[in-house]
Amino acid sequence: MTRQMPMPISLPADHARESFIAAPCNAQALATLGADHWSGAHWPAGKLVLTGPEGSGKTHLLHIWANATGARLLEARDLTGADLEALVKSGAVALDDADALATDPALETAAFHLHNLLAERGGRLLLAARAPVRDWGLRLPDLLSRLQAAQHVVLKAPDDALLAGVLEKLFADRQVRIPDQLIPFLLPRMERSLAVAQSLVAQLDAESLARKCAISRRLAADILQVSQDKD
C-alpha cells in the first residue's frame, strides 16, 4: 500500500506585534521604525525604505506599522489603478515588494504621484524591498531621485537567536512538542530564512503524522537529507 502524505495545515500568517521576535539582526530596523510608538514622525521627509532578504521580516514590520498608524498597506503591483486620493487620506501608506515598481512604467508614474501627494500633505511613506532603490531599475528620474533621498534601513538575514525563537513559536502554534535538542540540530543545517523555517516546521509536522511518530532529530535529518551526526 502506498503511504499517503497528509497535506500540512496552512496556517494564516501571523503579523501581530507580539509575534515579532526582536533580535540583533532586526534591532536597527525596529529602532528606526519607532519600536513601540511606530509613528514615523521622525523620518526625514516622512519616508523610509526598508530592505532585506526574503524571509527577514519586512512584510511583518509593514503590517505592524500599518496596524499601529492606520496606514494603508498594499503590494506595489496593485498601485496601478488605485485611488491615490483615498490612499493618502489615511496620512500614511506602506508599499510591499516596492522593487516591483520598476516592472511597469504605469506603476512608476502612480508611485511618483502617490509620493508627491503624501509629501504635500505631510504624510508618511514606507516601502519594503529586497534591494536598495538604486538597484530596482527605475526609469522615471524624478521618482528615482525622490526615493533615493529616503532614509534607508537594512534588515539583515535572520541570526540564530531569531531563527530559534521563530522555530519555537511555529511549533508552539501547532501545539507540537519537540525534544530540547531539535532546534540546535536544525539551526546549522537549514537555510537562514523565516520562510524556510515555516516550511520546515510544516514538513516535520506532516511527516510525523504520516509516520505516526514524534518529531525528532532522526525525522529532521531525513527531511533535510543530512546525517544525524553528533555535534
Judged against a pLDDT cut of 60, whether residue 6 lies above it is answered with: no
Ramachandran quadrant class, 24 (left: phi over 0; alpha: psi -120 to 50; beta: rest): alpha
Average pLDDT for residues 83-98, to the nearest whole number?
95
Phi and psi at residue 90, to the nearest 5°: -70, -20
Task: State the pLDDT confidence band at 29, using cuts at 50, 70 and 90.
Answer: confident
Alpha helices, H only, 83-193: 84-88, 105-120, 141-148, 160-173, 182-186
The reported pLDDT for the residue numbered 157 is 79
* Residue 199 exposure: Cα atoms within 13 Å on the Cβ side: 10
Q: pLDDT digits over 99-151, tens only?
A: 999 999 999 999 999 999 999 999 999 999 999 999 999 999 999 999 999 99
The reported pLDDT for the residue numbered 10 is 43
Q: pLDDT digits over 38-48, tens only?
A: 666 678 889 99
**Residues contacting residue 167 through CB under 8 Å, at least 6 positions apart:** 183, 186, 197, 200, 201
Which strand (E) or helix (H) includes residue 221? helix 217-224
Task: Please provide the average confidence, as pLDDT, over all residues in the chain.
Answer: 86
CATH of 160-224, one of 1.10.510, 3.30.70, 1.10.8, 1.10.3470: 1.10.8
How many angstroms separate the CA atoms of 174 and 48, rounded? 35
Task: State the pLDDT confidence band at 67, using cuts at 50, 70 and 90.
Answer: confident
Judged against a pLDDT cut of 90, whether residue 207 lies above it is answered with: yes
Contact 74, 109 (CB under 8 A): no
Q: 3-state DSSP: the chain helix, strand, coil percent, rounded to 5? A: 50, 10, 40
The reported pLDDT for the residue numbered 72 is 95
Share of the chain above pLDDT 70, in %: 87
β-strand partners of 49: 127, 152
Laid out side by side, the sheet with 124-129 consists of 72-75, 92-96, 124-129, 47-51, 151-154
Angle between helices 217-224 and 194-211 (to 10 degrees): 120
Judged against a pLDDT cut of 80, whether residue 49 lies above it is answered with: yes
Average pLDDT for residues 202-208, to the nearest whole number?
92
DSSP code of residue 61:
H
Average pLDDT for residues 209-223, to the nearest whole number?
93
The reported pLDDT for the residue numbered 17 is 62
Contact 26, 161 (CB under 8 A): no
Average pLDDT for residues 6-23, to the nearest whole number?
57
The pTM of this model reads 0.75
CATH of 24-154, one of 3.50.50.100, 2.40.10.10, 3.20.20.80, 3.40.50.300: 3.40.50.300
Q: Using CB atoms within 10 A of its CB, is residue 217 exposed (0-12), middle (13-18) or buried (19+)?
A: middle
Domain ranges within the chain, ordered by starting residue: 24-154, 160-224
